[in-house]
Amino acid sequence: MMLVPTYLDKSPIHGIGIFAAEFITRGTRVWEFTHNADQVFSESALAGLTPLQRQTILFYGYIEPGRDGVVLCCDNARHFNLLRDANCGAGNHSSQGYISTFALRDIAAAEELTYPFEEDVDARRKLGDAEFLRQTADEPAGSERKD
């Protein structure tokens, strides 16, 4: 769950984004996995769902490296958009085996929280091949969703 106050709004990057409700200092842990709130869908659980249900979970969820299944955040965290020059990212802290997310720099109130597409192991599927290749080229930042 998010550990800092946030709100959702229209994103200039993609659809809806998650925004800081107040100033966030660099190094602040902004998200951590919370048992009984955030949900993990194993591959077998996903296989038992309808295609629409699976598609929704894969769109809003993320794959945790080294873990089976997809994590679906229960709060605004599902709306992190991906950006090359992201202001949030993985840190050296984990909660229940899941890597926490930290502010990589100071984040202003009303600034969108973003996550580096390089740290999202499922980014290629989420972005599509063309957008993923554009994002990983040497040209400046691109976009898309973590969620």
State the DSSP string of 16-43: EEEEESS-B-TT-EEE---TTTSEEE-H
- Strand bridging mode 114-115 / 81-82: parallel
Q: Which amino acid is at 111?
A: E
Please give the pLDDT value at position 145.
Answer: 52
Global pTM value: 0.83
C-alpha dist (Å) from residue 103 to 71, 119, 139: 20, 14, 24
User: Would you kindly state where each structural domain of the chain is located, as residue ranges?
Assistant: 6-136
Cα Rg, the chain, nearest whole Å: 15
pLDDT on residue 102: 97
Report whether 30 contacts 95 (CB < 8 A).
Answer: no
**Distance in angstroms (rounded) separating the CA atoms of residues 92 and 100:** 8
pLDDT for the residue numbered 136? 66
Q: What is the largest CA-CA distance in the chain?
A: 42
**What is the CATH class of 6-136?**
mainly beta
User: So what's the pLDDT on residue 9?
Assistant: 99
- For residue 135, give every residue at least 6 positions away whose Cβ sits within 8 Å of its Cβ, in sequence order, or none: 82, 84, 117, 123, 127, 142, 143, 144
Cβ atoms 74, 1 nearer than 8 A: yes
* Model confidence pLDDT, tens digit, residues 75-100: 999 999 988 899 999 988 777 888 89
pLDDT of residue 121: 75
Residue stretches of the chain with pLDDT short of 50: 139-143
